[in-house]
Amino acid sequence: MKILFIGDTVARPGRTIVHDCLKHLQQEYEVDLTILNCENAAAGFGVTPTIADEFFDWGVDVLTSGNHIWDKKEIFPYLDKNSRILRPANYPPGNPGRGCAVVRTRSGEQAAVLNLQGRVFMPTTDDPFRAADAELEKLSKDVKVIFVDMHGEATSEKLAMGWYLDGRVSAVIGTHTHIPTADESILPGGTAYQTDAGMTGPFMSVIGVMKEEVIYRFLTQIPVKFESASQDVRLNGTLIDVDSQSGKALRIERVHRR
C-alpha cells in the first residue's frame, strides 16, 4: 500500500498547488491513500467546511490537523459530521470531532489514520503517548496499516513518539514546524519516520507568513496581524510504501514539487 502524506497546507497558495499537482502525484506514485494536514488551509489559520470539501473533491482521503483546527468556529459541527477530518486525539473528552479514522483505500484494504499533538511549547492537551495507546487499543486487529500525524513543535518529542510507536504503527510523520526534515528512515520495528514533512505553501515567507511582518514583530515585539505570503509556492510531503499484510513500512521518501 502506498500512502501519500501532504504536509501543512497553507492558505490559497497551498491549496492551489495541491489542486494542480495531486492527481499527477497519485498517478505517478500509484497512491492508495492520500492524507493532508489542513490546519492552516484557510488564510493560514484553521480550515472551513467549504475548504475541507474541496480537498475531498480533489481526491484527499483523510484530513489531519493540529492546534489551529479550532481557529474557524464554523468547523466545529463539521468535525462531528465528517469522520474523515481529524483533530488531535489527545484533546480533552467532549471536544468536537475525533482523532482517529479507519478508511478503505483505493486498493480495497483498510487503513487507520491517527492524529496526535505534542505538549512541548504547545497548547495544553492530554498526554499524546497515552492517547496513542488508547486509540490503538480500540482498533480492530484486522487493521494492519496505521499512519500517525504527530503535530508538534519539539523535534525531541516527535522522535520520542516515533520510537514509542515503532513496530506498532506503519508510520509516524511530524507536522507543525513547516520545515521539511531530512531524517526520513525506517525504524528497527518497521515504522517509517520523519520529524516534519514540511509545508505546502509559499516559501518566500517565514513559515508561510509574509516575511516583513514577522521581521517587524521580532525587531519591535509589537503584535501585528500576520498575513499569508503568496510567492515561491511548493508542495512538500512524504511517500510511504507499506506491506499491507504486516503493516510494516518498506520504503519512505520525501516528495517535493514547485
Domain containing residue 115: CATH number: 3.60.21.10
Q: Answer yes or no: pTM beyond 0.75.
A: yes
Distance of CA 191 to the CA centre of its chain: 17
Domain of 123, in residue numbers: 2-204+235-257
pLDDT-above-90 percentage for the chain: 98
**Segment 47-94, tens digit of pLDDT:** 999 999 999 999 999 999 999 999 999 999 999 999 999 999 999 999
- Residue 43 and residue 208 in contact, taking contact as beta carbons nearer than 8 Å: no
The single residue of 24, 68, 151, 178 carrying the catalytic annotation is 68
3-class SS of residue 178: coil
217 lies in some domain: no
Question: 73-77, 183-187, 207-211: which range is least confident on average?
Answer: 207-211
Of the candidates 55, 50, 87, 56, which has an alpha carbon nearest to the alpha carbon of residue 69?
87
First vs last C-alpha separation in the chain: 26
228 lies in some domain: no
197 lies in some domain: yes
225 lies in some domain: no
191 lies in some domain: yes
User: Computed from CA positions of residues 104, 106, 111, 115, in that sequence, does the dihedral angle turn out positive or negative?
Assistant: negative
211 lies in some domain: no
* Pairing verdict, β 145-151 and 171-175: parallel
pLDDT at 12: 98
d(CA 126, CA 131): 8
- Answer yes or no: 68 catalytic: yes
Mean pLDDT of 107-120: 97
Q: How far is CA 86 from CA 39, 116, 161, 210, in A?
A: 10, 10, 19, 28
3-class SS of residue 150: strand
Q: How confident is the model at residue 175 (pLDDT cuts 50, 70, 90)?
A: very high
Angle at 91 between CA 83 and CA 100, to 5 degrees: 30
Domain count, the chain: 1
